[in-house]
Structure 1
Amino acid sequence: TPLRDSPAGSVEKTVILLALIRLLLPEVLLPVTTAVNTLDRYGWEKGLAAGANVIMPVVSPAECRRKYEIYKNKASVDYVALPAIKRRVENAGFELDMSRGDHCKWLLL
Structure 2
Amino acid sequence: MPKTAPNASATACTLKLPAALHQQIEAAAQAAGQETAEWMLAALQAAAERHQLGHQFMHDAQAAQRHLSESGQGHPWEEVRSYFARLAQHRAGHASLPPAPVARPID
Relative to the length of structure 1, the TM-score reads 0.23
User: Which protein, 1 or 2, shows the higher relative CO under an 8 Å CA cutoff with sep ≥ 6?
Assistant: 1
- Structure richer in helix, relative to its length: 2
Relative to the length of structure 2, the TM-score reads 0.24
